[in-house]
Structures are given as structure tokens and as C-alpha cells.
Amino acid sequence: MSKYIVALDAGTTSIRAMLYGIAERRFLDTAQQEVQQSFPQNGWVEQDADEIYYKAAYVLNRCISGVGAENVVGIGLANQRETVVLWNRDTGEPIAPAIVWQCRRTDEFCASVPREMRDRIAEKTGLPVDAYFSASKIRWMLDHVPAARALMQAGKLCAGTVDTYLIYKLTGEFVTDHTNASRTMLFNIHTLAWDEELLAYFGIPREILPEVKPCTSVMGYLRSGGSTIPIAGVAGDQQAALFGQACLGEGDSKITYGTGLFLLFNTGKACVTSRSGLITTIGYSLGEKVVYALEGSVFNAGSCVQWLRDGLGLLSTSAESEQLATSVPDTGGVRFVPAFTGLGAPYWNGEARGLLSGITRGTTKAHIVRAVLESIAFSAKELSDCMQRDSGIVFHEVKCDGGASANNFLMQFQADVLGISVNRPAERESTALGAAFLCGIALGLFGEVDIASFRASERVFAPVGDRSQHEKWYGEYRKAVERALMK
Ligand code: ADP
């Protein structure tokens, strides 16, 4: 009888369970549910943790019941990171809406953190002080949610990220993994423990936080029908994608081209501190073995293509951008800077806004579409330059995934701009694949060495373009960025 792993990918906008056939080495079935976000005030983003749990349980059940619980050997979990839930330890009920990673309500608090403390935090956690991470969100909830203090005094308050909440509801265990913990701004990524100094600074008692375990741990057991299924193998979504892409060696990297763009770069045992505003994070941990990564994010990537389609009406589908971009030999001098919501790494400028430059009477929509796609590749190039400078490790190839990685023009242009190959996998659900692989390792079904052989390439884009030409275009893009940064 065939055996299966179910990978649960609890993303920000949707939750998906995917059935991985161990013998088949691929996904065989999937169930998905959208999840709502609410925006109660300017810059605030919330979700209903109950809805996240019910939808996760629903999609899990759909996948498991299709093959019978007795044939599912384990569940791997990948999740949206940094989002915070507070709940009652006795009932498992959330006591307030979850504060989502995008939420900016703690901007002011973060801006008030003194210089010296920022340096301590960066040194210990690898993170810049920002409302994006969990610590200030938990602090805010302790201060503003009426039930929080009384529950805390009674020893009945739990705080955790989405992985922790789901595992608690599904199994009763109060745990998280190294990668999710490394995004809270409370976890010391060198000692692999909650940091007493940071807990004291944020006023968060250790008792309300979960136990932290390696990604390949058995976290708890889900009872389904007459069977118990281990939840084993957990990582934050971007880290899971790094693992799913088999980026297991120092210098291996992946770029996810979704709404935003995420570049993760495996730095091996070295916990590299960035001088360029990149994040140092735990890439994954296999038992005792901890692998670090540098991470850079660009807020707008695929969303720029959406804007061409829905905002400007230049495209009827996102995919049409490929054909339009290749219908012209270049952008005709047009440059685009994707700064709709400011610029992320390496600029960290929230006030910058998008820019379209170099327009002439001869500019066509094809030039504009091409300039937008080229800007996505250039922003990845900026990140990769920083990473190589910070780490002294050279990129040799980059694996790609995410919706916009379907665009052949973009992938070829990316290879030309980086001067290295861009490798597109046959299975583009890298996040779910990473969760399935971590689960397989946790259960002793596969070894780390097997993972590389499980990943198949669909297409490798080798750099072919004229290097000097691409350097010149990149220079034009950088000039446009400078203009976007001008007040
Ligand atoms: P997310 O997980 O962030 O929601 P996805 O990985 O599903 O995003 O990717 C969706 C994004 O990819 C959208 O912004 C869409 O415009 C873009 N996209 C999808 N297909 C293409 C394509 N062929 N060319 C360019 N962009 C694309």
C-alpha cells in the first residue's frame, strides 16, 4: 500500500494541504482554502486565528481522508512567518485577532528603541528592529488586550507564531521550530535559546512562549480516525522553500518571485552579519545541525505585473507580459523602479515611491512592460551583490520558484543580469515540498543526502546575453533608483 506525507502550507492569503506520494516522489492531490485579512486601521493588518485553524484542519482532513489516515505517515508544516497569536492555554481560544506580519501598528515603538539596544538586538537575533517581526507585536497585545494580563498572571497565556498555534490546536503541544523562532526578535540565533535580555527588554515572560525545537522534530501527534499522525518537520515558508529547492550547500540560493521577491542564500555554518541591511536568519536545522542564511526581500515584484494588468490595463493576463517584453529588443531607455510601498533591502526607505523614467514619444506599452520585468531582475541583482559582499561567498546558480518564475523572459534576463544560471524546478511548490522533505527526514524516511536527488529541474536558463550591455542597463536602473530615493 502506498504511503503519503501531507504538507500543510499555511500562507497569508491561503492555506493549502498537499499530498506527497513517497514512492511517486511528487504531489498527488491538493486542497485549498482562502483566508481573510482585515485592515481595521491605516497600516493595521489582522487575521482570525480561529479561521486559520479551521481552514487548516479542513484542508488537512480533505487530503488525509482521500487516502485513509492509516496511510499518512506524517504531516510537515510551512507557514507565514512573524504573525502573532495569543490564546488561552486551557481552551485554546485566541483572545484577540492575530497581528499579521505586514501590520505596522508598532512602528512608533520600534522607532523609539535606542541605538545601543538596536545593535544588541541585531547581534543576537540577526534582525533589524522593525514592526515586521513578532516581539513588538506581542508587547502590543500584552499592553492592549484586556484579557492578556489576567491570563498571564494565572499562568494560562500562550503566545506564538502561526506554526505554534496550529500545532497546539492540532496536537496540544506548545512548540515552535528554530526558523520560526528566529523571526520573533526574541530568539538568540547563536545560542539557540530565548534571550533573557531581550525578553526583559520587551517585557515578555519566558513562560508564555513555546519550547523551541529543530525543524526535523516530531512536534506532536494528530488523532485522525483511529490513527495518530505525527506532525514532524516545520519551517517558516521562505526557509521551507530554500529546503524544498535543495539549497543545502554553502552558496546555494533561491529566489521566490511571488507578490514580493525573497532571496535566501545558504551561508552554511557561518552566521554572517550583513553590513547592507540584509537579515541573518536560521535557514533550517536538521537535529543538531544548524544552517544559517542571509535573506533579502523586495516588497513588490509580481505585484508590479498585477499593476500593469489591473491598474494600467496594459495586459489581459500576467503571462502576456512575456510575449510583449520579447517583442522589443530593449526598453528604449525606459526604466521602472518598483517602489510602490517604499524600497526594502538594501535601502530600507519607506518613503520612496515608484518611478517610470526615460519616456519618449516612441515609448510603447511593450517598452513599459519590459522595463517592469527588467526591474524585478535588477532588484534581485542588488540583493545578490550585497549578499556576496557581506559573506565573501560567490553565487554559482540560483533556483527559482513562485508565480512569476513561469515567465521565461524574466528568468533568462535574470540569468543574464546575474551572470549565472537560473534553475527552474519541475515542482514549483517549493514551500510545500520543503515541508514534506523535512517531515520525511524527521521520520527517518529520507536522509539529507537524498533530498538533492528528489528535486528535478524543468529548465535551466544559462546566461547568454552581452554582459557589458546588461551592466549598462543595470547602471541605468541604479540611476533611476537614486531618483526614486530623492525627496
Ligand atoms: P504569492 O504566493 O505571493 O501570492 P504567487 O507565487 O502565486 O504569489 O505569484 C503570483 C504573482 O506572480 C502575481 O503577482 C502575478 O502577477 C505574477 N505572475 C504570475 N504569472 C506570471 C507570469 N507569467 N509573468 C509575470 N508575472 C507573473
Domains, the chain, in order of start with CATH, read 4-235 (3.30.420.40), 246-419+456-487 (3.30.420.40)
**Taking Cα atoms as reference points, which of 274, 262, 270 lies closest to residue 290?**
270
Instruction: Using the mean position of ligand 1's atoms as its centre, give its distance from the Cα of residue 379 in Å.
Output: 16
Q: How many CB atoms lie within 10 A of CB 18?
A: 26
Instruction: Using the mean position of ligand 1's atoms as its centre, give its distance from the Cα of residue 141 in Å.
Output: 33
Is residue 222 classed as helix, strand or coil in its secondary structure? strand
Instruction: Using the mean position of ligand 1's atoms as its centre, give its distance from the Cα of residue 257 in Å.
Output: 7
Is residue 273 classed as helix, strand or coil in its secondary structure? coil
Is residue 290 classed as helix, strand or coil in its secondary structure? strand
Instruction: Using the mean position of ligand 1's atoms as its centre, give its distance from the Cα of residue 67 in Å.
Output: 31
Instruction: Using the mean position of ligand 1's atoms as its centre, give its distance from the Cα of residue 461 in Å.
Output: 19
Is residue 71 classed as helix, strand or coil in its secondary structure? helix
472 Cβ neighbours under 8 A, 6+ residues apart: none
pLDDT, residue 43, reads: 83
Ligand 1 atom closest to residue 260's alpha carbon, by position in its atom list: 3
Instruction: Using the mean position of ligand 1's atoms as its centre, give its distance from the Cα of residue 12 in Å.
Output: 15
359 Cβ neighbours under 8 A, 6+ residues apart: 334
Q: How many CB atoms lie within 10 A of CB 277?
A: 15
Atom 2 of ligand 1, nearest CA residue: 258
Give me the residue label for grid cell 497600516: 43
Q: Dihedral angle at the C-alpha atoms of 218, 219, 224, 226, nearest 10 degrees?
A: 50
Instruction: Using the mean position of ligand 1's atoms as its centre, give its distance from the Cα of residue 342 in Å.
Output: 20
Question: Is 105:41 a contact under the CB 8 Å cutoff?
Answer: yes
| pTM for the whole structure | 0.92
Instruction: Using the mean position of ligand 1's atoms as its centre, give its distance from the Cα of residue 259 in Å.
Output: 6
Atom 7 of ligand 1, nearest CA residue: 403
Atom 21 of ligand 1, nearest CA residue: 404
Instruction: Using the mean position of ligand 1's atoms as its centre, give its distance from the Cα of residue 166 in Å.
Output: 27
- Distance CA(71)–CA(92), nearest Å, equals 28
Atom 9 of ligand 1, nearest CA residue: 403
Question: Is 231:77 a contact under the CB 8 Å cutoff?
Answer: yes
Ligand 1 atom closest to residue 403's alpha carbon, by position in its atom list: 9
Q: Which residues of the chain are under the pLDDT cut of 70?
A: 1, 487
pLDDT, residue 487, reads: 67
Instruction: Choose one of 261, 300, 305, 430 to mutate for the ligand 1 pocket test, by most ligand atoms within 8 angstroms of C-beta.
Output: 305
Ligand 1 atom closest to residue 322's alpha carbon, by position in its atom list: 24
Instruction: Choose one of 257, 297, 341, 373 to mutate for the ligand 1 pocket test, by most ligand atoms within 8 angstroms of C-beta.
Output: 257
Instruction: Using the mean position of ligand 1's atoms as its centre, give its distance from the Cα of residue 429 in Å.
Output: 13
The DSSP annotation for 104-167 comes to -TTHHHHHTS-HHHHHHHHHHHS----TTSHHHHHHHHHHH-HHHHHHHHTT-EEEE-HHHHHH
Atom 15 of ligand 1, nearest CA residue: 302
Atom 25 of ligand 1, nearest CA residue: 404
Ligand 1 atom closest to residue 406's alpha carbon, by position in its atom list: 23
Q: Which of the 8 DSSP states describes residue 22?
A: T
pLDDT, residue 330, reads: 97
pLDDT, residue 1, reads: 67
Residues with CB under 6 A from ligand 1: 13, 258-259, 302-303, 305-306, 318-319, 321-322, 402-404, 406-407
Question: Is 470:417 a contact under the CB 8 Å cutoff?
Answer: yes
Q: How far is CA 4 from the centre of its chain?
A: 25
Instruction: Using the mean position of ligand 1's atoms as its centre, give its distance from the Cα of residue 47 in Å.
Output: 23
- Distance CA(224)–CA(75), nearest Å, equals 12
pLDDT in tens, 130-158: 888 999 999 999 999 999 999 999 999 99
